Amino acid sequence: MNSFAVTVLVLAVGAISVSARLQHYVVEKSFNQAQAECALYQGVHDDDLLRYVKEGYPDVEEVRCLLRCVAFNLRFWNHTTGLQKHMIAGHFVPYPDDYHNVERTDACLAEQLYTCDDDLCTQVYKAFQCYYQHYGALSECPQFVVNTYLEDRQVAVDLFGMLPVSQSTLQNLAGGCFPSGEESLCFFYSFVVRSGLYSEEDGANLERLYYQYHEEVFNPNNAKTVACLQNQKKLACKKTTCQQAYDTFQACFGESQGLEYLVHTVFVDAAKDFLGQPVCYCTKGKTCPLHRCYGR
């Protein structure tokens, strides 16, 4: 093998390994990492934090509010719907041969149901203790942290700047007309890749999709979904990368609220935001006052 071929091979392998470890706009965080961040934000001293953990998170105000911070940090609690069971469960590992941990945890949640008189720190604390006492051991493994609507919208807006998205495609997206051609499909592909929900190598990431949208169609144990994804992979050789990504979502998740939310809420709102910004139509020797983009 000549030196040029070796160089090409090395570069190719390097490109593959880099692709596999790209971060994109994905956050994965363990409970301990979130806890350490919150302790720093709230001024909890290291020795106090170690004592709280050793004592099983005692019922004192500083601990209650520390756990509230962790809950919002990891997104297993929000102001509108409260506890997100599937997300908090991901931070615990059931003990071997414990087949009733879910029932005990649910019974505890029903027993310890917080009231409107409880402040938010207390509400989170009661729910956390049910999982801590009954569900299993806290996991040390980082878990996917879901995006909020505002983050999804920002990802879309960023991609409009990062990709050569034409004015007509932006207008179609803003009007809810999707897909409207290969350019819109490649925007969709870039969005789901950047959000960590899909990769060219592995296809749809069901675990993250289930975390993000919590619909049964995204459940990794859904046999119908798994079969659909396998079938879509067989068809990949006949399609572009962008077409394959969209077809996978449309064929396997076409009726999901998650896909509806992306196409008719996130993409629409982001495109409207982007179109609302001053647009530069540059000619040689002229500048745009705001963006200062120069003609060539």
* CATH topology for the 27-145 domain: Recoverin; domain 1 (1.10.238)
Report which of 195, 193, 194, 186 is spatially closest to residue 148, judged by C-alpha positions.
195
Element (H, E) at 82: strand 82-83
Report residues of the chain scoring pLDDT below 70: 1-20, 113-116, 277-296
Q: What is the pLDDT of residue 280?
A: 54
Q: Residues 42, 69: contact at Cβ < 8 Å?
A: yes
Residue 81, pLDDT score: 87
Q: Could you give the C-alpha distances from 154 to 194, 236, 267, 270, 285, in angstroms and in order?
A: 11, 30, 10, 7, 32
Q: Using one digit for the tens of pLDDT, what is the confidence trace for 30-77? A: 999 999 999 999 999 999 999 999 999 999 999 999 999 999 999 999
| Of 223, 228, 59, nearest in space to 128 by CA | 59
Q: Which CATH number fits domain 149-276: 3.20.190.10, 3.40.190.10, 1.10.238.20, 3.55.50.30?
A: 1.10.238.20
Nearest residue to 271 via CA among 149, 147, 168, 185: 168
pLDDT for 286? 45
What's the pLDDT at 290?
44
Domain segments of the chain as ranges: 27-145, 149-276
For 17-31, how does the pLDDT look when each residue is reduced to its tens digit (9 = 90+)? 445 578 899 999 999
- Asked if 27-145 and 149-276 have one fold, the answer is yes
Nearest to 76 by CA among 228, 221, 212: 212
Return the pLDDT at 238. Answer: 84
